[in-house]
């Protein structure tokens, strides 16, 4: 009798617990959880865009965002759109981080955070290759190769495949991470995202020269006068495009903005891509 009583009590407690959990999962709660998953994937998506922009536009210098768009031969336009792309990725990352921090403060259990970040990162690679390379055709992984399709597929397999495969494997094992117990992880993601954005705005540390892009409408004499006023020594130029490669003292780049400069590489503007340009 005692064992039956204990069993009945345990069963009653289990049913009460299940009833409470079911009651808590109202439609609003379910929608909130789906929204939080979207924030995690959005952050991973933005980090994938950051990775591509830094590696392909700056470090490897394989293409600009609009490399294959007809009529977009002006380097000023290419640099501008690269910078706008980085700003967009930064905004998406901030939105994702803000949503995740809100979920953490609200005590919402965030399962498979790592899986969702990896999915978002891998999804960016798929969207980039399929939409921007093959459908819109605004650039390719390598625009200077006779068989760009091989490079597209190779990048998708090497860079997009591993995070998607890892996410699938982790998802099968039902591993979960709760934001309530992972403030160090969120803090690391926040710092890492901010650092990636700040690094993208800077030029390479071993680069003696700085790329300056002037706004349209200035004459060559006006641009040369602006460079002389800031103490810049010209090493290379494309006056018809308003682009100059100069040796410039650290911190003096801001002066050029007062003389009609559109972007000065490494001065903390979204045009940090231009510091990695091959113009010389």
Q: What is the pLDDT of residue 68?
A: 92
Average pLDDT over the chain, rounded to whole?
A: 75
Confidence of residue 108 (pLDDT cuts 50, 70, 90): very low
Confidence of residue 110 (pLDDT cuts 50, 70, 90): low
Distance CA 43, CA 197 (A): 13
Please state the rounded mean pLDDT for residues 230-252: 82
Q: Which residues are 209's β-sheet partners?
A: 247
Closest-CA residue to 200 (of 266, 122, 108): 266
Q: What is the pLDDT of residue 138?
A: 94
Q: What is the pLDDT of residue 1?
A: 55
Beta carbons within 8 Å of 145's beta carbon, 6+ residues apart = 151
By three-state DSSP, how is residue 235 classified?
strand
- Please report, for the chain, the start and end positions of each structural domain, with discontinuous segments joined by +: 32-200, 209-276
CB burial of 57-94 (b: ≥16 within 10 Å; e: otherwise) equals: bbeeebbbbbbbbeeeebbbbbbbbbbebbeebbebbb
As its CATH architecture, domain 209-276 has: 2-Layer Sandwich (3.30)
Please state the rounded mean pLDDT for residues 78-87: 88
Q: What is the pLDDT of residue 88?
A: 94
Distance CA 194, CA 199 (A): 9
- Range of lowest pLDDT (3-7, 136-140, 156-160): 3-7
Q: What is the pLDDT of residue 122?
A: 93
């Amino acid at each position: 009798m005692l064992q039956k009583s204990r069993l009945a009590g345990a069963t009653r407690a289990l049913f009460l617990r299940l009833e409470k959990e079911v009651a808590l999962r109202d439609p609003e709660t379910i929608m909130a959880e789906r929204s939080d998953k979207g924030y995690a994937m959005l952050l991973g998506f933005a980090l994938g865009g950051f990775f591509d922009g830094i590696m392909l536009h700056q470090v490897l210098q394989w293409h600009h965002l609009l490399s294959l768009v007809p009529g977009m031969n002006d380097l000023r336009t290419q640099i501008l759109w690269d910078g706008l792309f980085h700003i967009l990725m930064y905004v998406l990352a901030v939105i994702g981080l803000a949503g995740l921090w809100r979920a953490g403060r609200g005590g919402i259990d965030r399962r498979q955070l790592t899986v969702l970040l990896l999915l978002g990162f891998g999804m960016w690679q798929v969207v980039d290759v399929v939409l921007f390379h093959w459908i819109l055709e605004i650039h390719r992984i390598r625009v200077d190769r006779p068989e760009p399709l091989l490079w597209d597929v190779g990048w998708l397999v090497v860079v997009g495949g591993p995070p998607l495969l890892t996410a699938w494997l982790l998802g099968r094992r039902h591993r979960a991470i709760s934001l309530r117990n992972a403030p160090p992880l969120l803090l690391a993601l926040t710092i890492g995202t901010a650092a990636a954005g700040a690094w993208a705005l800077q030029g390479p540390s071993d680069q003696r020269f700085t790329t300056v892009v002037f706004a349209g409408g200035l004459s060559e004499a006006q641009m040369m006068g602006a460079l002389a006023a800031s103490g810049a020594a010209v090493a290379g130029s494309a006056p018809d495009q308003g682009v100059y490669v100069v040796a410039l003292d650290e911190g003096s780049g801001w002066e050029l903005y007062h003389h009609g400069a559109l972007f000065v590489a490494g001065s903390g503007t979204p045009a940090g891509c231009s510091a990695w340009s091959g113009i010389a």
